[in-house]
Homo-oligomer: A and B are copies of this chain.
Amino acid sequence: MKATAKAHTNIALIKYWGKRDESLILPMNNSLSLTLDAFYTETTVTFNHDLDEDIFYLDNELIVGDQYTKVSNFLELIRNFADIPNLFAEIRSTNAVPTAAGFASSASGFAALAAAATRALDLQIDEPTLSRLTRQGSGSACRSIYGGFVEWEKGAEDDGSDSYAVHIAPQDHWDVRVAAVVLSSDMKKVSSREGMKRTVETSPFYSGWVDNIPTDLTQIKAAIHARDFEKMGEIAEANCQKMHATTLGANPPFTYWHDTTLTVMQTVQSLRAKGIAAYFTIDAGPNVKVLYQPENEEVVQQTLLNIPGVTNVILSRSGQGITYK
């Protein structure tokens, strides 16, 4: 009735951008990510027949409101799946995902929650099933079930039964590093949920985005298997720019970029002009993540830290999938 699980966040190299089903969280396109070891959530779930509702503590603080509702709604999914109505739980999570780093803590959060809850109930489920359940808490969380390189297959079924993540290459396949560049910026004004929705519904570029994904995926998977860093970086950097292009065509148009976002992008391109292989990717926010190789760690970190408006640079390696205590 009790279990503890740890899950890491992930950075998408081919972005998840747009839902075809809002309530089941089914995406319009496949995406591909690298799990990161520096950012994780550890969660203990304890089911208890004496409880008449779920209780959620995050970093030892009792959570109420929207954040509680999301977690409790997700546990309700697990209860339905396990056919145990009215068996509530205490959930205790600790986050090692600084919100300011621009990583969605929801990715590691829902992956750890799904893993701990199903383990606490001693449900014998395979990883695709766990990924499929996790997806319904937060889309990109379904990729955090695995370590290393992971692909979320969008699937074709209306019920989402074939929409889950699969393993592309394990954590130790390749020592690729990621620097999370933290900017001294305000919070984003358009949530990724709202941003996706507006883009899917109004941007004349959205079909170009979706149509282009299979090409990017085929090429980046070949680059990952061949450990071709330049090729992988080029595709990831171009893919992220395509994602952000779609928002400029939305009605009304919007961008997640700030002035320093542009500076970091252009600094990364300047590093390449000097022969240092580094590539950027940007999620639905102003912060930038930079892909680099171990031998360039110092020059990449120092160059990024020297940019005015950059407050922190957090380094990460390839991380592992779900672990249990």
Q: Which of A173-212 contact B (CB under 8 A)?
A: 203-209, 211-212
Contact of A209 among B204, B209, B212, B238 (CB under 8 A): B204
B-contact bits for A206-224, CB 8 A (1 contact / 0 none): 1111011000000000000
Q: DSSP majority for the A interface? A: helix
Contacts of A244 in B (CB 8 A): 248
Contact-residue size bin, chain A (C-beta under 8 Å from the other chain)? 20 to 34
Chain A interfacial positions (CB closer than 8 Å to B): 203-209, 211-212, 234, 237-238, 241-242, 244-246, 248-249, 251-253, 255, 257-263, 266
Give the shortest distance, in Å, between A192 (CB) and chain B (any CB): 18
* Cα distance, A246 to B251, chains bound together (Å): 16
* Cα distance, A208 to B238, chains bound together (Å): 18
Q: Is the CB of B253 within 8 A of A263?
A: no
* Cα distance, A253 to B252, chains bound together (Å): 23
Contacts of A238 in B (CB 8 A): 251-253
Q: Is the CB of A262 within 8 A of B257?
A: yes
Give the shortest distance, in Å, between A191 (CB) and chain B (any CB): 18
Given contacts A258-B262, A262-B257, contact A242 B204 (CB under 8 A): yes
Contacts of A259 in B (CB 8 A): 259-260, 262-263, 266
Q: Is the CB of A249 within 8 A of B257?
A: no
